[in-house]
Amino acid sequence: MRLAVPGDVVELCQRLRAAGFEAWLVGGAVRDLLRGKAAKDFDVATSADPAAVTKVFGRKRTIPTGEKHGTVTVLTERDGVRQPVEVTTYRGEGAYTDGRRPDEVVFVRTLDEDLKRRDFTMNAIAYDPLADTLADPYGGQADLAAGVIRAVGAPLERFREDGLRAMRAVRFAAQHEFAIDPATEQAIPDALDVFDKVSAERVRDELLKILCAPKPSIGLELMRTTGLLEHTIPELLEGVGMHQNRFHKHDVWHHTLAAVDASVVGGDPPWLVRFAALLHDVAKPRTAAPKEDSPAENTFYRHEQVGADMTDAIARRLKLSTEERETLVNLVGNHMFWYTPEWSDGTVRRFLSRVGVEHIDALFALRAGDVRARGQGEEPGSEIDELRARIANEIAKEAALKITDLAVGGADVMEVLACKPGPNIGEVLRALLERVLDDSSLNERDTLRALIPEVARRS
Ligand code: ATP
Ligand code: MG
């Protein structure tokens, strides 16, 4: 079966061949094409060393991405668009002493030796697009067909060389909805001390890929059972077996899994709502208290605020960007709103001001996933549509929602109060905003200036 390899990649292999080198397509592209899926990026393994690769394609078309690691990026053109193709010299596994990265890169002579260092059998298949032949020394095709993730070689050894591989196994299981071969899965708990040495950024990137899988719960549950969760977000384990109340079918952990699965992927960044769903109830166990009138049920008073603080700590640990962290904290902290038609326009504006116009869609998406995950066959109600319409109305009216929307600024406050810059200026402006949120008609320069002495006395 000829695999659908783009012409530019075939030509690239041809040119290496013509220069007397071997060239094979390897890694994720072969795996995905064999499953009939579109391949994302194309990696080529070759017997040519980086200098030879650069010579074959010329300096203009190559980028010395990681020459020390044997990788040269060759720029090709596909459908009129420039495409980077990574061309890597046959490489073996250098000695690892720290579980993070090999101490040195060792180049090897044969394709088989190169495939041997790859993590899983399905990632260790090579394809020659010129001869239309596959090299599959570890039975990757059989495992692909059976839906099994299996380490190349001895699992524990492989997981102890590079601690990230355990997380990659779980990530691939979620992405492809595959099972991990028992021997491979059972090796993970014994490699957790090496996993701990992996940089937070690499772990984070795998977690984000799990969150974008069709059913992240597959990966999250595997993280829990293998111990990876305890070494990543142990706070979530507190929800396992944590009973809720009549509104919920599941314990906190299983409700969380259902909420993540039921939440949308997409938006910017695509994993945002799912990450918020993962953490939205993280503080429920710490805030659980028996209901006064029904002690078998639990209440979780203020769990959204405690959860926002926990989210902040977790996001810092996982090295999310400041903006990503603040957005997650915002979503978790605001997920407990209860809209009723009695909300005044001022209440709608205060809600909008607190959440921020830019986060409203994500918050509603989180709510939709949360409601569906109660396990009672509920659907998000029409009240959310009504709130959405009222919010749209406020936005259309250009209602003031932030300090910078006010008709006065810090200079007005200082002039009216005859005072110098200081923290009280911000307090006065915030107090003015509160008034304006209640009554938009106050947002006129003269009106607000007249209000300044009064709000300053109170603040
Ligand atoms: P994706 O579709 O997510 O890109 P991929 O399989 O292409 O998946 P990459 O991280 O792009 O994964 O790596 C390309 C190939 O390099 C893998 O298929 C695998 O053969 C090898 N590889 C990557 N990371 C490791 C690792 N930590 N240990 C061993 N082999 C690895
Ligand atoms: Mg890849």
Whole-angstrom distance, CA of residue 43 vs CA of residue 168: 18
- How remote is the CA of residue 27 from the centroid of ligand 2, in Å? 7
SS3 7: helix
Using the CB atoms, write b or e for 257-276: b if 16+ within 10 Å: bbbbbbbbeeeebebbbbbb
Cis peptide bond upstream of 102, omega within 30: no
- How remote is the CA of residue 91 from the centroid of ligand 1, in Å? 13
Number of folded domains in the chain? Answer: 4
Tokens at residue 405, please?
A: 């929307």
pLDDT at 125 over 80: yes
Work out the percent of the chain whose per-residue pLDDT is above 70.
98
* Nearest atom in ligand 1 to 40's CA: 2
Domain endpoint, select from 121, 146, 171: 146
Q: Specify burial of residue 111 (Cβ count, 10 A radius: 0-12, 13-18, 19+).
A: buried
Using the CB atoms, write b or e for 181-201: b if 16+ within 10 Å: beebbebbbebbebbeebeee
- Provide the pLDDT for residue 247: 83
One domain, residues 219 and 325: no
Which of 32, 41, 118 to probe ligand 1 with, by most ligand atoms within 8 A of CB?
118
Tokens at residue 242, please?
A: 């944590």
- Provide the pLDDT for residue 245: 86
**H or E element, residue 304:** helix 303-317
DSSP state letter for 151: B
- The number of the ligand nearest the C-alpha atom of 126 reads 1
Which of 113, 123, 184, 203 to probe ligand 1 with, by most ligand atoms within 8 A of CB?
123
DSSP state letter for 191: G
Mean pLDDT for 118-141 is 98
CATH assignment of the domain containing 178: 1.10.110.30
pLDDT at 43 over 90: yes
Q: Is residue 206 part of a domain?
A: yes
- Provide the pLDDT for residue 295: 87
State the pLDDT confidence band at 401, using cuts at 50, 70 and 90. very high
Are the C-beta atoms of residues 261 and 215 closer than 8 Å to each other? Answer: yes
- How remote is the CA of residue 25 from the centroid of ligand 1, in Å? 13
One domain, residues 110 and 228: no
- The number of the ligand nearest the C-alpha atom of 26 reads 1
pLDDT at 377 over 80: no
Tokens at residue 371, please?
A: 């409601």
Q: How far is CA 171 from CA 93, 149, 301, 330, 414, in A?
A: 22, 10, 34, 27, 56
Whole-angstrom distance, CA of residue 124 vs CA of residue 119: 7
SS3 298: strand
- Provide the pLDDT for residue 246: 84
Which residues are CB-neighbours of 19 under 8 A, at least 6 positions away? 48, 52, 56
- Provide the pLDDT for residue 248: 83
Q: Whose CA is nearest to atom 7 of ligand 1?
A: 28
Q: Is residue 242 part of a domain?
A: no
One domain, residues 194 and 273: no
One domain, residues 329 and 443: no
- Provide the pLDDT for residue 98: 72
Domain endpoint, select from 122, 146, 170: 146
Identify each DSSP E strand in 241-319 by its residue range.
288-291, 294-300
* Nearest atom in ligand 1 to 93's CA: 29
Per-residue pLDDT of 440-456, as tens digits, reads: 999 999 999 999 999 99
One domain, residues 159 and 38: no
Q: Is residue 189 part of a domain?
A: yes
pLDDT at 244 over 90: no
- How remote is the CA of residue 268 from the centroid of ligand 1, in Å? 25
Ligand 1 pocket, residues with Cβ under 6 angstroms: 27-28, 40, 43, 118-119, 123-124, 162, 164-165
Q: Whose CA is nearest to atom 16 of ligand 1?
A: 27
pLDDT at 105 over 90: no
One domain, residues 138 and 167: no
One domain, residues 162 and 101: no
Domain endpoint, select from 129, 146, 163: 146
Per-residue pLDDT of 350-366, as tens digits, reads: 999 999 999 999 999 99
CATH assignment of the domain containing 37: 3.30.460.10
Q: Is residue 243 part of a domain?
A: no
Residue identified by tokens 């209640």 is 438
pLDDT at 100 over 90: no
Per-residue pLDDT of 290-301, as tens digits, reads: 988 888 898 899
Q: Whose CA is nearest to atom 2 of ligand 1?
A: 28
- Provide the pLDDT for residue 83: 95
pLDDT at 144 over 80: yes
State the pLDDT confidence band at 384, using cuts at 50, 70 and 90. confident
Per-residue pLDDT of 416-445, as tens digits, reads: 999 999 999 999 999 999 999 999 999 999
pLDDT at 101 over 90: no
Average pLDDT score over the chain: 94
- How remote is the CA of residue 28 from the centroid of ligand 2, in Å? 5
Q: Is residue 1 part of a domain?
A: no
Tokens at residue 331, please?
A: 């979503």
Whole-angstrom distance, CA of residue 253 vs CA of residue 220: 10
Q: Whose CA is nearest to atom 27 of ligand 1?
A: 165
* Number of neighbours of residue 158 by Cβ within 10 angstroms: 22
Mean pLDDT for 233-253 is 92
State the pLDDT confidence band at 1, using cuts at 50, 70 and 90. confident
- Provide the pLDDT for residue 379: 75
Lowest mean pLDDT among 149-153, 232-236, 273-277, 397-401: 397-401
Mean pLDDT for 53-67 is 94
One domain, residues 376 and 410: no
* Nearest atom in ligand 1 to 164's CA: 27
Tokens at residue 281, please?
A: 């109830």
- How remote is the CA of residue 426 from the centroid of ligand 2, in Å? 49
Whole-angstrom distance, CA of residue 217 vs CA of residue 232: 16
pLDDT at 302 over 80: yes
One domain, residues 218 and 260: no
Residue 364, by phi and psi: left (phi above 0), alpha (psi -120 to 50) or beta? alpha
Which residues are CB-neighbours of 434 under 8 A, at least 6 positions away? none
- How remote is the CA of residue 446 from the centroid of ligand 2, in Å? 61
Mean pLDDT for 164-181 is 98
One domain, residues 180 and 272: no
* Number of neighbours of residue 41 by Cβ within 10 angstroms: 12
Mean pLDDT for 170-195 is 98
- Provide the pLDDT for residue 72: 97
Q: Is residue 244 part of a domain?
A: no
Residue identified by tokens 């991405």 is 65
Which of 42, 119, 127, 194 to probe ligand 1 with, by most ligand atoms within 8 A of CB?
119
State the pLDDT confidence band at 213, using cuts at 50, 70 and 90. very high
State the pLDDT confidence band at 238, using cuts at 50, 70 and 90. very high
Pairing relation of β-strands 81-89 and 91-92? unpaired
- How remote is the CA of residue 193 from the centroid of ligand 2, in Å? 26
Whole-angstrom distance, CA of residue 198 vs CA of residue 98: 9
pLDDT at 112 over 90: yes
At position 224, the amino acid (one-letter code) is R
- Provide the pLDDT for residue 25: 98
Q: State the residue range of the domain holding 339.
A: 250-399
One domain, residues 34 and 92: yes
Q: Is residue 237 part of a domain?
A: no
- What stretches of 147-264 show up as alpha helix (H) in DSSP? 155-161, 164-176, 182-187, 192-195, 200-211, 216-226, 252-262
- How remote is the CA of residue 294 from the centroid of ligand 1, in Å? 52
Q: How far is CA 3 from CA 13, 80, 98, 132, in A?
A: 14, 22, 38, 8
One domain, residues 357 and 289: yes
